[in-house]
Amino acid sequence: MFKTAPAAEAVEIEQGDAHGNHADLVPLSHLSLDLPAPEIGWLAELQRRGIEILQDDIGRSSVPRDIARMLIAEQAAAEMRKREVMARIEQQAEQHDQQFRAQLWQGLPSEYLPLGASPAAVMLQAAKDARPRRQTPLQHALSNTGELIYHPLAQTDEE
């Protein structure tokens, strides 16, 4: 009922000599699967960094395995730094938001609202009551703050 596939024969992989060991090469096409390609391209970037580009046994542009390992480690370190910076920015944004929310006026609790009064009218009156009021000359003199305030005798249009 079930047909079995014929057993695969062992294929001997050519390792190359000391000058062309193809087993230790990583093609740039494989490297680009794990790493984002630089803006100028792999060939130009590797030449800029002085890294020799070799040809593997089938003619693909490749780099030695230790160079590929170094490039992947650099990418991992860059991603770690980016995550740390993003976490720091997020923490600063959260602190800023908490400070902003702490400064917002929370309104009046419902137990302070008189019966029949609208919440908006009560809040407006509370805001008006919270503003500092002008003191009479007698109140100012009795407050003993040590300040001098000029109180004109004549009423002006501004008052």
pLDDT attached to residue 72: 92
User: For residues 42 and 28, what is the distance between their CA atoms, to the nearest angstrom?
Assistant: 7
> What are the boundaries of each domain within the chain?
22-103, 110-143
Q: Give mean pLDDT in consecutive 10-residue pieces for the chain, a chain of 159 residues.
A: 44 39 82 87 88 88 92 93 97 96 81 82 84 78 77 68
pLDDT attached to residue 41: 86
Q: Residue 62 class from Cβ within 10 Å (0-12 exposed, 13-18 middle, 19+ buried)?
A: buried
User: For residues 73 and 64, what is the distance between their CA atoms, to the nearest angstrom?
Assistant: 14
User: For residues 79 and 85, what is the distance between their CA atoms, to the nearest angstrom?
Assistant: 10
Tell me, rounded to whole angstroms, the distance of Cα 62 from its chain centroid: 35
pLDDT attached to residue 76: 93
pLDDT attached to residue 16: 37
User: For residues 65 and 90, what is the distance between their CA atoms, to the nearest angstrom?
Assistant: 37
Residue 9: C-alpha distances to residues 14, 23, 148 (Å): 16, 20, 106
The pTM score is 0.50
